[in-house]
Amino acid sequence: MQVKVENVGKSIVQLEIEVDAEKFEQGMQKSFQKNAGKFSIPGFRKGKAPRYMVEKFYGDQVLYEDAINAICPDEYDQAVEENDLHPVEKPEIDIKQIGKGQTFIFTAKVTVKPEVELGEYKGVEVTKADALVTDEDVEKEIEKVLDKNSRLVTVEDRPVASGDTAIIDFEGFIDGVPFEGGKGTDHSLVIGSGTFIPGFEDQLIGAALGEEKEVNVSFPEEYGSAELAGKPALFRVTVKEIKLKELPALDDEFAKDVSEFDTLEQYKADLRQKMVEKAEHKAHHENEDNVVEKVVENALIEVPHVMVEKRVDDLVYDFSMRIRYQGMELEKYLEAMGMDMKTFRDQFEKRAEQEVKTQLVIEKIGAIEAIVPSDEDTDAEIKKLAESYKQSEEDFRQHLKPDDIEYIRSNLVARKTVDFLMENAKLS
């Protein structure tokens, strides 16, 4: 096999691959063996005619397609490996010369990973993220726990107030006509939560128990349903119940109920410690992000569009899986948002490009600094993954393919490379 490599565009190469006639003949024989049963030739039972008769009757071109399919993938893969290329898509194959007894010549045009020109990556300076936890932060967290452990108490001696939970029946009308989705029964609405149309909840403040109240609002211009967007509506609302949130007393008994501690002071001290650990963890990741972002900014790289599109594919898929777990398909989500797929994908493009840039820069630094995970690192990561999938390490390993191991090791290289950048960064 002979290979010529030519740059034909930004991160696009064309390989001209020559395969000797003997190997092409092997491909033709494989093609014949695969297709022999399809040929009907007078004087022979179907599938029993020798190859020279098939070629004489149909022409040897009848075997070309499967011969090409038998030869091209392996020859292309070998050419890519020998020339240390890193394709990011399937190649575009074009046949230049083909025929019995001839050298088989084809070209493969493909986009490859771009060259990365690194700038400064050791000793970059960034502002250190803050991991401070104040008394006010602790008090706010306690308020959340109090709220979580609150109970609703029915109120009968006063009208609806802000913060109450009102149990309501409602029906909406536009131009005097009920509209789809505008009716609800025994709906629980927290007044002031902003979950209904702007102005709806405010107009219920002061409503008495059992009162039927008319609420006039306008749907926002950007409302998901085009039929309702921007239109004024009248809602007839009946207040069926009024409930007040009652918080537990903040004392030692409360601490015993929500923790393993006997006193409120012990609970607060433990809560603070956990908040500090969480803040430090968050600050560490923020510092990592800032250092990596700075390093990527310092590098020169032009990302091929195909790599961005593939990353957008991944981000769209991840989003669709998240909302599917919530019971909604992506098509329905787009319909509700009044958005087509192109507009939706465009939202991810900038993020996708930045993520691809980051990946390429980290890979380049890892290669230059010869960052390689040890076997012990790899074993520890496999064990950790097995535990996360609630499998024994032995069972988990049985399902791992060589590509899976390589993927695990590449992730370890990326992680260690970020650690290397952090060790050499200046946090001020």
Q: Which domains, ranges and CATH numbers included, belong to the chain?
A: 2-111 (3.30.70.1050), 151-246 (3.10.50.40), 264-427 (1.10.3120.10)
pLDDT band at 117 (very low <50, low <70, confident <90, very high): very high
Which residue type sits at 115?
Answer: E
pLDDT band at 112 (very low <50, low <70, confident <90, very high): very high
Mean pLDDT of the chain: 94
pLDDT at residue 226 in the model: 80
State how far the Cα of 60 lies from the Cα of 318, in Å rounded to an integer: 48
pLDDT at residue 326 in the model: 87
Burial class of residue 49, CB neighbours in 10 A (0-12, 13-18, 19+): buried
Over residues 179-193, the pLDDT tens digits come to 988 999 999 999 999
Strands 212-218 and 232-246: antiparallel
pLDDT at residue 174 in the model: 94
User: Would the pLDDT of 224 be above 80?
Assistant: no
pLDDT at residue 43 in the model: 87
Q: In the predicted model, what is the mean pLDDT of residues 5-32?
A: 95
User: Would the pLDDT of 72 be above 80?
Assistant: yes
Q: In the predicted model, what is the mean pLDDT of residues 35-46?
A: 90
pLDDT band at 33 (very low <50, low <70, confident <90, very high): very high
pLDDT at residue 47 in the model: 85
Exposure string (b/e) for 50-66, b if CB count within 10 Å is 16 or more? ebeebbeeeebebbbeb
pLDDT band at 368 (very low <50, low <70, confident <90, very high): very high
Do residues 11 and 86 lie in contact, with contact meaning Cβ atoms separated by under 8 Å?
no
Cβ-proximal residues to 12 (8 Å cutoff; 6+ apart), any chain: 109, 110, 111, 112, 304
Whole-prediction pTM value?
A: 0.73
Question: CA-CA distances (angstroms) from residue 240 to 126, 204, 244, 343, 407?
Answer: 57, 12, 14, 43, 59
pLDDT at residue 30 in the model: 95
Over residues 123-159, the pLDDT tens digits come to 999 999 988 999 999 999 999 999 999 999 999 999 9
pLDDT band at 223 (very low <50, low <70, confident <90, very high): confident
Query: For the chain, how big is the Rg over CA atoms in Å?
Result: 34
